[in-house]
Structure 1
Amino acid sequence: MTKLSVNINKIATLRNSRGGNRPDVVQVARDCERFGAQGITVHPRPDERHIRYSDVLALKEVVQTEFNIEGYPDQRYMDLIEKVRPAQATLVPDPPHVLTSNAGWDTHANRQFLQEILQTLKGWGVRTSIFVNPDEKMVEGAAQCGTDRIELYTEAYATGYHQNRHEAVKPYTNAAYAAKALGLGLNAGHDLDLDNLAFLKQAIPYLEEVSIGHALISDALYLGLEETIRRYLAQLKD
């Protein structure tokens, strides 16, 4: 079964809008795990506009499933990974000012940089993943960099799903087959939801993990967190 990792950034956004500690990010992470999620994802940014670096350190003490920390691998990010030693570090090429991750790595142009980062992360015993567009050349480049996994950036799939889901998913299945042939693990994330998730899973049956935040937390406002996680897990059943 494909694992569901819940991105809890939006919980921190809500908390930060008012101050104090409501909602409690650490308690929500515990609840997500209690309700069946197999991972917790965070993406701390330099301005700490949602998840704070202190949150990540607090979560380190309580997350019992797979802890995945996304981010651009600057010195602050690397220092955090060295302290926390999460199950997985997902490298994302976004500059500090962007609202959300909006592109994958050019794994050829950034090969030397990524190779050095990946070697350091592996030396700490952390599984590595590189965020990439559904482009077979970028998948090949990721393998050459030495990553353990890739995460396919799924915004284009989500955008095209309602127009022609078969065409929308085709670049992703091609990229997934390339990754499998190269021995890479496969994750996916961005704009996945209860409408489009099951079809992606059917098209890529060996998908190892999806990371979902915005849609899942939005659905939880109507359905409650426990029921929402149950429904997302149902979409991922083999």
Structure 2
Amino acid sequence: MDQHSQTKLSVNINKIATLRNSRGGNNPDLVKTALDCESFGAQGITVHPRPDERHIRYQDVFDLKAAISTEFNIEGNCQEESFVQLVLANKPAQVTLVPDALGQITSNHGWDTIKHGQYLKEIIAVFKDAGIRVSIFVDPDPRMVEAAALTGTDRIELYTEAYAKNYFVNKELAIAPYIQAARTAQQVSLGLNAGHDLDLHNLRYFAQNIPGLLEVSIGHALICDSLYFGLEATIGRYLDQLRG
């Protein structure tokens, strides 16, 4: 089996919750959507609950944990005590730690793993002691990757907005820092995930060129594409991109 067939697709279903919340009730059904994603081939489900519950509600996390059978990835701001308690209560396969500010629309930068190294070491130990795999959000900077290895994290998730933004300008230049960061991750024995603004245009090239890519987490683009292609066909298209 080659590298690309091993890269897992985790579907972020935040946007399904946003649509549901816009009208109240339970349409679309978040849990059913997650189960459908699994049945259509997704190897994981990702959620990013925030304190204002503007999309994923805390109860959703408990409901999803009880229902899904693939890897459950809960991402969020570990500086919020409510997030820490939510994760510990549900014990997902993976927690992804992001340095969000309160009220932030979406994640837009990685951890400064040098400046916040001691804090990360302490909070990562909390989750690992509970048997939860930990990934932390980082920018494609070898210094940040090297420092991440000192925190005790199992994986890093490369923040891919800059790659996506510059892909059509010069894809070779856009991906170069990510290749370097991925090689550094291999050297310091860190697992590698990626996510943010990956889509049907740029995913294949990314997966083909990033060594050791274990998982991509994709939400916004995938849910938008499903409006045109249908959810099952869309997940199939994303899986095809990962197969090379």
Band the TM-score falls in, shorter-chain normalisation: over 0.9
Q: Does 1:151 align with 2:165?
A: no
TM-score if structure 1 supplies the norm length?
0.99
For the residues of structure 2 that align with 1:130 and 1:82, how far apart are their CA atoms? 16
Deviations 1:16-69 (A, max 9, x none): 001000000000000000000000000000000000000001001011000000
Q: Report the alpha carbon displacement of residue 96 of structure 1 after superposing the two structures with TM.
A: 1.7
Q: Which amino acid aligns with 2:181?
A: A
Question: Of residues 51, 58, 74 in structure 2, which corresponds to 1:53?
Answer: 58
Q: Does 1:42 align with 2:47?
A: yes
For the residues of structure 2 that align with 1:62 and 1:173, how far apart are their CA atoms? 36
Question: Is the CA contact (8 Å cut-off) linking 2:183 and 2:211 kept in structure 1?
Answer: no
Question: Is the CA contact (8 Å cut-off) linking 2:43 and 2:70 kept in structure 1?
Answer: yes
Equivalent in the alignment of 1:25: 30
Equivalent in the alignment of 2:166: 160
Map 1:52-91 onto structure 2 (within 5 A). Answer: 52-73=57-78, 74-91=80-97
Q: Report the alpha carbon displacement of residue 97 of structure 1 after superposing the two structures with TM.
A: 1.5
Q: Which amino acid aligns with 1:44?
A: P
> SS of 1:208's equivalent?
strand
For the residues of structure 2 that align with 1:63 and 1:27, how far apart are their CA atoms? 10
Deviations 1:123-182 (A, max 9, x none): 000000000000001001110111000000000000000010000000000000000110
Q: Does 1:172 align with 2:165?
A: no
Question: Is the CA contact (8 Å cut-off) linking 2:48 and 2:56 kept in structure 1?
Answer: yes
Equivalent in the alignment of 1:124: 130
Q: Report the alpha carbon displacement of residue 112 of structure 1 after superposing the two structures with TM.
A: 1.1
For the residues of structure 2 that align with 1:35 and 1:97, how far apart are their CA atoms? 33
Question: Of residues 118, 133, 148 in structure 2, which corresponds to 1:112?
Answer: 118
> SS of 2:150's equivalent?
helix
Q: Aligned residues, how many?
A: 238
Q: Report the alpha carbon displacement of residue 92 of structure 1 after superposing the two structures with TM.
A: 0.3
Q: Report the alpha carbon displacement of residue 205 of structure 1 after superposing the two structures with TM.
A: 3.8
For the residues of structure 1 that align with 2:129 and 2:199, how far apart are their CA atoms? 35
Deviations 1:170-221 (A, max 9, x none): 0000000000110000000000000000000111142000000000000000
Q: Report the alpha carbon displacement of residue 98 of structure 1 after superposing the two structures with TM.
A: 1.1
Q: Which amino acid aligns with 1:87?
A: A
> SS of 2:11's equivalent?
strand
> SS of 2:170's equivalent?
helix
Identity of aligned residues (%): 63
> SS of 1:61's equivalent?
helix
TM-score if structure 2 supplies the norm length?
0.97
CA RMSD, aligned part only? 0.6
Map 1:2-21 onto structure 2 (within 5 A). Answer: 2-21=7-26
